[in-house]
């Protein structure tokens, strides 16, 4: 499934057309577009759409809105993550980060506006869908993935604490938005989200382990962002805790646990194939065969 097929790009375009419209301050509008296009792998929205499809969701309006909302929240977190007070990253996806291109003020505001645009995208999708009453559960599931106490903001805040439980830290910093993705896919399809938490949690943790491996092994040109940050900043990292081989084993184990947890549903087999294919992309070349 590529970006176009996923159906999420058009909803992202529509959300940005609303937010970065000609009446928006020009630099903010530019920063909003810069943060969202061209995107990364759009892993989370594709996961959301895949879960909705596996549950037989036919009217994809709500699922697309939820997928776009999750990607907007992911982009918002990257913009704030790159700020001078956090990673102070001048590059993201091989281009200047938002604060490097537009300044710190606009970067703070762009992150804020993207969070708001994400929730607005849910409302727009609900209004256009055949199931507007699902908005409440979608909003709760998505909100839980980004705020406090369990979402991205909380995960990032654990970095400011003197002592951190690595698993809890990864669960909130990375896992929470993957959980939001699987649960939102289920909620959009009118299915109980709860049994879908485990898939999101394991994929999210696997993705964070993969990120730690990349940070430790890849070069900056390949990734389009600085590497070696975890060690330099003394941040928690699976590679520091388990060694490189141990981290790759942990990644493989997490993926299998995630796949085993997938609830019975019409598209279970197809979803498992898709997740395995996606997982191959998580690792630097050479390590991918061992993992997925």
Chain contacts with a second copy (rule: CB under 8 A): 18-21, 23-29, 32, 76, 80, 83, 85-86, 103-106, 108-113, 115-117, 119-120, 122-124, 126-127, 132-133, 135-136, 139-140, 143-144, 146-151, 153-154, 156-161
Gyration radius from the chain CA atoms:
18
Nearest C-alpha neighbor of 200 from the set 155, 264, 248, 254: 254
Q: How do beta strands 91-92 and 95-96 pair?
A: antiparallel
Residue 117 Cβ, how far from a second copy at the closest point, in Å?
A: 6
Residue 116 Cβ, how far from a second copy at the closest point, in Å?
A: 3
Residue 32 Cβ, how far from a second copy at the closest point, in Å?
A: 6
State which residue, 157 or 244, has the beta carbon closest to a second copy.
Answer: 157
Tokens linked to 210: 């993969």
Q: Are 65 and 122 in contact (CB under 8 A)?
A: yes
Residue 47 Cβ, how far from a second copy at the closest point, in Å?
A: 20
State which residue, 1 or 164, has the beta carbon closest to a second copy.
Answer: 164
Residue 265 Cβ, how far from a second copy at the closest point, in Å?
A: 25
Nearest C-alpha neighbor of 193 from the set 46, 51, 43: 51
Phi/psi at 39 (nearest 5 deg)?
Answer: -85, 180
Cα separations in angstroms, 114 against 28, 41, 109, 118, 143: 11, 18, 9, 6, 13
State which residue, 144 or 250, has the beta carbon closest to a second copy.
Answer: 144
Which residues sit opposite 92 in a β-bridge? 95
State which residue, 130 or 160, has the beta carbon closest to a second copy.
Answer: 160
CA distance 175 to 168: 9
State which residue, 70 or 216, has the beta carbon closest to a second copy.
Answer: 70
Q: Residue 284 contacts by C-beta under 8 Å, 6 or more apart in sequence? A: 213, 214, 217, 218, 222
State which residue, 6 or 172, has the beta carbon closest to a second copy.
Answer: 172
Residue 27 Cβ, how far from a second copy at the closest point, in Å?
A: 6
């Amino acid at each position: 499934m590529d970006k176009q097929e996923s159906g999420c790009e058009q909803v992202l375009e529509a959300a940005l057309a609303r937010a970065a419209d000609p009446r928006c301050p020009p630099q903010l509008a530019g920063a909003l577009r810069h943060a969202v296009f061209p995107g990364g792998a759009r892993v989370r929205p594709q996961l959301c759409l895949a879960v909705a499809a596996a549950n037989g969701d036919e009217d994809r309006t709500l699922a697309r809105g939820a997928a776009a909302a999750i990607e907007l929240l992911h982009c918002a977190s990257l913009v704030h993550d790159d700020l001078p007070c956090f990673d102070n990253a001048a590059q993201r996806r091989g281009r200047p980060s938002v604060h490097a291109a537009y300044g710190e003020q606009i970067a703070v505001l762009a992150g804020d506006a993207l969070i708001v645009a994400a929730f607005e995208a849910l409302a727009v999708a609900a209004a256009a869908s055949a199931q507007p009453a699902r908005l409440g559960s979608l909003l709760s599931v998505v909100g839980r993935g980004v705020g406090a106490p369990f979402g991205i903001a909380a995960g990032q805040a654990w970095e400011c604490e003197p002592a951190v439980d690595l698993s809890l830290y990864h669960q909130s910093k990375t896992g929470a938005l993957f959980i939001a993705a699987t649960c939102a896919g289920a909620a959009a399809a009118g299915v109980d989200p709860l049994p879908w938490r485990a898939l999101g949690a394991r994929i999210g943790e696997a993705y964070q382990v993969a990120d730690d491996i990349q940070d430790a092994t890849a070069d900056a040109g390949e990734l389009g962002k600085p590497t070696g940050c975890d060690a330099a900043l003394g941040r928690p990292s699976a590679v520091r805790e388990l060694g490189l081989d141990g981290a790759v084993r942990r990644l493989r184990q997490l993926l299998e646990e995630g796949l085993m947890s997938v609830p019975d549903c019409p598209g279970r087999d197809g979803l498992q194939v898709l997740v395995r294919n996606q997982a191959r992309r998580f690792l630097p070349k050479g390590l991918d065969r061992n993992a997925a």
